[in-house]
Amino acid sequence: MPVPDLADPRPPYLQIADDLRRQIKAGRYKPGDRLPSHKAMAETYQSAPETIRRALGALRDEGLTATQSTKGTFVLREASEPEPNPEFVRLQSVLHDVLERLDKIEDRLTGLESS
C-alpha cells in the first residue's frame, strides 16, 4: 500500500512516520544509521518537505531519531511497540465492563420473553 495512503484518514506525516518506524523495526535502518535526506524522502513519499519534517519530528519526539543540522537524521534506537495510552487502557476496561453488563441484560430479557 502506498504511503501516504489517501484512503487513510490520518495526516500524511503520521503515515510517513509510521512507515519509517516500521522500517526501523524491520531492521532496514539500525541504530547509528543515517536516514535518507529530506529531499530524497520527499521524492520517495511524493510529499512536501514540510510533511517530511513533521514526520521526522514525530520520530524525534519519541526519542527514536535525532537530527544534526548539517549531518542529517540518525536512528538512535530500535523501534518498539509504543506504550499504550493509560486513558485508552482505562476506556478499554470500562467498555469491557459495559459489554458484560449488556450481555447480562440481554440474557434477562430473553428469559422474560420466553416466560
Task: Give residue limits of the domains in the chain.
Answer: 12-75, 83-115
> Quick one: which of 73, 67, 76 has its CA closest to 31?
76
> Quick one: which of 8, 91, 11 has its CA closest to 51?
11
Single-letter amino acid code for the residue at 26: A
Against a cut of 0.75, is the pTM above it? no
Q: Which pLDDT score, from 0 to 100, does residue 18 have?
A: 94
Single-letter amino acid code for the residue at 73: T
Cα 97 to Cα 88, 90, 102, distances in angstroms: 14, 11, 9
Structure confidence at residue 50 as a pLDDT band (50, 70, 90):
very high
Which CATH number does 12-75 carry?
Answer: 1.10.10.10
By three-state DSSP, how is residue 67 classified?
Answer: strand
In tens, the pLDDT along 59-109 reads 999 899 999 888 999 999 887 756 566 777 788 888 888 988 988 999 899
* Higher pLDDT among residues 114 and 89, named by residue: 114
CA 95 to chain centre: 23
Tell me the mean pLDDT in the region 4-31: 93
By three-state DSSP, how is residue 58 classified?
Answer: helix
- In whole numbers, what is the pLDDT of the chain averaged over residues? 89
Q: Which pLDDT score, from 0 to 100, does residue 79 have?
A: 79
Q: Which pLDDT score, from 0 to 100, does residue 42 have?
A: 96
